[in-house]
Structure 1
Amino acid sequence: MGTATQTSLPFSEIVKVRFRDMDAQGHLYFANYMVYADEVLGSYMEELGLGAMNPHKLPCLIFTVNIHCDYVDEIGGNAEVNVCVGYSRLGNSSADAAFELYDNARGTLLAKGGLTQVFVDPDTRKSIPIPAFFKAGIVEQQPDITGASTI
């Protein structure tokens, strides 16, 4: 069993580092830190009712318009990464998500960062308000979120 991590983010999943995820130095390829974060954020969004796996049934599309990641430590193959995600800001038509990745065995921080999502109309590709049910779900999970009063 892994070591507990210190995070305020409400959702997490464990991802096992596969051989294909590593670089020539034998540790997790830097871009895969963001891939892991994006995959787990997608699971969190699914839990909140916005099922990205079937985009034709969604009330909107979600464009990622900015992403940043601070690399802190390395992790090798066959290790488990505890990927923690949540939201740090809710606007009218955009939201900032945050992520933290931890070595599940040691509990040490591997990387942290965030991304900005813009919610858009599938036909016009113009920004629209974040769906009310999704915004309400985020606020229910994270009542202290910045921008929550804009619902």
Structure 2
Amino acid sequence: MDYPVLWPMPTRWADNDQYGHVNNVTYYSYFDTAVNAWLMRATGTDITALPALGVVAQTSCRFHGSVSFPDQLRVGLRISRLGTSSITYDLAIFRETDGGLELAATGDFVHVYVDTETREPVPIPDVVRAAAAELVTE
């Protein structure tokens, strides 16, 4: 487990589907929430107020185990690519157990930074790049 950040993520009652486990689409919400919450904390900035915003251009998820409410989760974050206008996050979802952490899912998430007005790609804002550089693992 080589993730510099393990962001806490509680499950919610509404996350469970009729089969009694967290619905697969919810894992993407966990990824999105963890990445953006970490960015806000790491930069000390309201990222929605920057002149460029990160839009999700690609995401994927591979399931390794099931989670359900009231599980407590950790979302592992690391960065495999820090480009000029995009960041590729490698992510993992772990379920907290008495014995530690159990892998539930892995995935990736690509933010492409665009101008808030034109929606054209622009360089990653300096404050975001500085924070992201600390999570680059490859």
Corresponding position of 2:106: 112
Please give the root-mean-square deviation of Cα atoms over the aligned residues, in Å.
1.6
Deviation, 1:13, is: 2.3
Partner in structure 1 of residue 68 of structure 2: 76
Task: List gaps (5 residues or longer) in structure 1.
Answer: 1-5, 147-151
Partner Cα separation in structure 2 for residue 66 and residue 85 of structure 1: 16
Query: How many correspondences in the alignment?
Result: 135
Q: Which one is further off, 61-70 or 77-86?
A: 77-86
Q: Runs of 5+ in structure 2 lacking a partner?
A: none
AA partner of residue 73 (structure 2): V
User: Deviations for 1:6-57, whole angstroms, at most 9, x for unmatched residues?
Assistant: 2x222222222222000111011111111111111111111232523xx2x2
8 Å CA contact retained: 1:101, 1:109: yes
Partner of residue 79, structure 2: 87
- What's the counterpart of residue 34 of structure 1? 28
TM-score by length of 2: 0.89
- Mapped pair 1:135 → 2:129: yes
The one-letter amino acid paired with 1:51 is: D
The question of whether the paired residues in 1 share the 8 Å contact of 2:78 and 2:137 is answered with no
Q: Within 2, Cα distance between the matches of 1:123 and 1:17?
A: 35
Identify the structure with the greater strand proportion: 2
Q: Residue 51 of structure 1 aligns with which residue?
A: 46
Residues 1:62 and 2:54 are matched in the alignment: yes
Judged with a 3 Å threshold, the aligned counterparts in structure 2 of structure 1 residues 88 and 51 are, in CA distance, closer, same or farther, namely farther
